[in-house]
Structure 1
Amino acid sequence: MTRASLPVGQIGDYEIKQLKIFKTVADCGGFSAAETELNISRSTISIHISNLESRLNLTLCRRGRAGFSLTEEGSVVYDATIKLLGELEDFRNTINDLDAQPAGHLTVLFSDTISLDSRAKIPKVFQRFAKLAPEVYLTSEVARMTEIERQVMNEEADIGFIPFHRSLEGLEYQHIYSDTCYLYCSPDHPLYSLSEEELSDEIIDGVPAAYAGMKTQEIIHGHLANMNLKATAYNYESRLALLLSGKFIGFLPAQYAKPYVDRGELRAIAQDRRFYTLEIMAITKKTSTVNKVRSLFIKTLRDSYRDQ
């Protein structure tokens, strides 16, 4: 360290102005290059930096024939300045959002058939939200569970709807509804005509099966562990096509399979032991930053389920 540092004390508007000038000088690589960016003279810039160094009791940069460079302390102050200015910007946006009409963009991601499941009431939620925030641009997409988690964590999406399969540190979870999944086959499959007594685990595990093709909850893994996994189909629609071919068996949510069961196009087998429950969750990122658009959508979501 070039000097013994002293407690800084209160940081006011003038110090923040100096820090902004210091950051610009560092970004530009010197006083001369920062003149145009800051629209002030080099001598004025030098005065501001000197005053800041005196205020902090630190040498922040070296300037001379060898060129411009930050000292060790200068690099630390530069990183802290970026953090401070970012937090100030977040604060300003938060306060501005409190009284402003919701505007901007909202991205909602769904896994599989959740968006049109009657228990999720998503069309009703969209209807209410669009009335409350007509200026918000909505994006609604279907994606894989892991991709939904990634985008919500990275704030590329605002909210996601997925079957619960793990708990991630940076996410918040809200239960939406539960799905019971059974093992199904079609009339063209050899197991369709067998009685429940004939459907031993050995027979079931001996025929080709289709599954989601990803790491799942322990209970689901237990069902799949001994099965003859011969096809991957993440989406229910593509898995259903494999089952209807008569060549594969596989798990589907009872609600999704019901129309096909009612028409005799599918049959649930070994229902007493070959089933599991999926908890459908809405996920958002844990954050202290106020996002008025996202908060309004979540409130609309909760109000819709409270009515139900």
Structure 2
Amino acid sequence: MIQVTDFDLRLLRIFKTVTDCGGFSAAESALNMNLSTISTHMSDLEARLGIRLCERGRRGFQLTDGGRSLYQLAEKLLDSVEDFRAGIGTLQHRISGELTIGVVDNTTTDPHSRIGAAILAVKQRGGDLHVKLEIRSPREIEDAVQERKLHVGIGPFRNKLPGLAYERLYSEQLFLYCGEGHPLFESAPLQVEVDDLRGLDYVSRGYMREARELTATVDFRIAATVYHMEAVAILVQSGKFIGYLPQHYAAQWVDQGRMRPLRPDLLNQRAEFSLVIRKDREPTIATQVFLDALRAGKSSDIDGSLT
């Protein structure tokens, strides 16, 4: 494949998506294609290259040595094509190409989050832009930005990875909650004794160091580990678990009388939200407009310098 055509690029994008998803079936939703169509396109790519790219069978989807090498080459090529499209847009003073954003789950109810407004600011500039918004854990966001799979990420990042620039945006208040039916639900929030919380079934978020940081005051019994905020809410609403939730997110159930905080005067924390980009990646016009819109919504007391 000496001359790379638009059709070749399409096949390479399909191949990359299949690989990223871990198999043909898993890629159906991401590609909006049925299994037979994906299989046909993969066969077409193998025929054009003259190499076997992957194996399917009892051991699941696996790339061959040639497939792994092609994946690395395809990733570089597709990044270059996207950078070229964005560069042309810059020369023409218009927004084009793709804007890929990674955020953690359940931030939409946070009044400090300006993600929707920032996307609106980009779209109002017009142009031929495709927006891709992904919900991931903080570490997944950092890894994706590092690997150039995302232009920008937003989340509560604990450690600064080399090669990435972080900028503080806002903070999120979290309290410890119990649900209707829990033994402590009928107690007044401020009258619950800390000793009464010891040994209670607690929901820990796997991507946070809660086992060490949030259970230091109280010896909770970690009875469930989850990786999404909604999962914490579901378990708390069962009436059998307690867990930390953002105040803005839990407010809907508190207002309905289905949740209540426990000792909010003592058991609370703040999660610092930051945006993250690669230090060595020149922002496209779309990325810059998005970042500027986010910065415009920051509180005046927040230091917005990139570090």
Question: In the aligned structure 1, how far is the partner of 2:203 from the partner of 2:299?
Answer: 37
Q: If each structure's helix is expressed as a fraction of its own residues, which one has the higher value? A: 1
TM-score, L = length of structure 1:
0.63
Q: Is the counterpart of residue 283 in structure 1 residue 276 in structure 2?
A: yes
Q: Secondary structure, in 3 states, of the residue corresponding to 1:137?
A: strand
Q: Secondary structure, in 3 states, of the residue corresponding to 1:199?
A: coil
Question: In the aligned structure 1, how far is the partner of 2:261 from the partner of 2:146?
Answer: 37
Aligned to 2:106: 113
Question: In the aligned structure 1, how far is the partner of 2:299 from the partner of 2:199?
Answer: 46
Q: Secondary structure, in 3 states, of the residue corresponding to 1:114?
A: coil
Question: In the aligned structure 1, how far is the partner of 2:288 from the partner of 2:193?
Answer: 50
Q: Is the counterpart of residue 273 in structure 1 residue 266 in structure 2?
A: yes
Q: Is the counterpart of residue 199 in structure 1 residue 196 in structure 2?
A: no
Task: Decide which of 241, 252, 259 is 1:259's aligned counterpart.
Answer: 252
Closer/same/farther in 2, CA of residues 205 and 306 from structure 1, 3 Å limit: closer
Instruction: Tell me if the contact between 1:165 and 1:216 (Cα under 8 Å) persists in the aligned partners.
Output: no
The aligned length equals: 219
Question: In the aligned structure 2, how far is the partner of 1:219 from the partner of 1:229?
Answer: 11
Aligned to 1:233: 226
Amino acid at match of 1:140: L
User: Comparing 100-109 with 165-174, which one deviates more in the overlay?
Assistant: 165-174
1:128-143 to 2 correspondences below 5 Å: 128-143=121-136
Larger Rg: 1
Residue 190 of structure 1 and its aligned partner are, at CA, apart by 0.5
Residue 258 of structure 1 and its aligned partner are, at CA, apart by 1.2
Closer/same/farther in 2, CA of residues 263 and 95 from structure 1, 3 Å limit: closer
Question: In the aligned structure 1, how far is the partner of 2:294 from the partner of 2:187?
Answer: 44
Aligned to 1:173: 166
Task: Decide which of 147, 152, 158 is 1:159's aligned counterpart.
Answer: 152
Closer/same/farther in 2, CA of residues 161 and 115 from structure 1, 3 Å limit: farther
Instruction: Tell me if the contact between 1:116 and 1:122 (Cα under 8 Å) persists in the aligned partners.
Output: no
For residues 122-167 of structure 1, give each alpha carbon's deviation from its aligned partner in whole angstroms, at most 9, with x where no partner exists. 2222112012143111101211111111001111001111013222
Closer/same/farther in 2, CA of residues 119 and 219 from structure 1, 3 Å limit: farther
What is the root-mean-square deviation of aligned Cα atoms in Å? 3.0
For residues 94-128 of structure 1, give each alpha carbon's deviation from its aligned partner in whole angstroms, at most 9, with x where no partner exists. 97564222211111111011245332122222112
Q: Is the counterpart of residue 148 in structure 1 residue 141 in structure 2?
A: yes
Question: In the aligned structure 1, how far is the partner of 2:95 from the partner of 2:118?
Answer: 16
Residue 270 of structure 1 and its aligned partner are, at CA, apart by 1.3
Q: Secondary structure, in 3 states, of the residue corresponding to 1:210?
A: strand
Instruction: Tell me if the contact between 1:108 and 1:157 (Cα under 8 Å) persists in the aligned partners.
Output: yes
Could you list the runs of 5+ residues in structure 2 that have no partner in the other structure?
1-76, 301-307
For residues 193-246 of structure 1, give each alpha carbon's deviation from its aligned partner in whole angstroms, at most 9, with x where no partner exists. 234576333321211011212343798345487310001222121111100100
Q: Percent identity?
A: 24
Amino acid at match of 1:277: R
Aligned to 2:7: none
Instruction: Tell me if the contact between 2:137 and 2:207 (Cα under 8 Å) persists in the aligned partners.
Output: no
Instruction: Tell me if the contact between 1:171 and 1:286 (Cα under 8 Å) persists in the aligned partners.
Output: yes
Aligned to 1:242: 235
Closer/same/farther in 2, CA of residues 240 and 141 from structure 1, 3 Å limit: same
TM-score, L = length of structure 2:
0.63
Question: In the aligned structure 2, how far is the partner of 1:197 from the partner of 1:297?
Answer: 42
Instruction: Tell me if the contact between 1:166 and 1:217 (Cα under 8 Å) persists in the aligned partners.
Output: no
Residue 306 of structure 1 and its aligned partner are, at CA, apart by 8.0
Q: Is the counterpart of residue 99 in structure 1 residue 87 in structure 2?
A: no
Instruction: Tell me if the contact between 2:254 and 2:260 (Cα under 8 Å) persists in the aligned partners.
Output: yes
Q: Secondary structure, in 3 states, of the residue corresponding to 1:180?
A: strand
Question: In the aligned structure 2, how far is the partner of 1:212 from the partner of 1:224?
Answer: 17
Closer/same/farther in 2, CA of residues 258 and 152 from structure 1, 3 Å limit: same
Closer/same/farther in 2, CA of residues 277 and 257 from structure 1, 3 Å limit: same
1:20-35 to 2 correspondences below 5 Å: none
Aligned to 1:301: 294
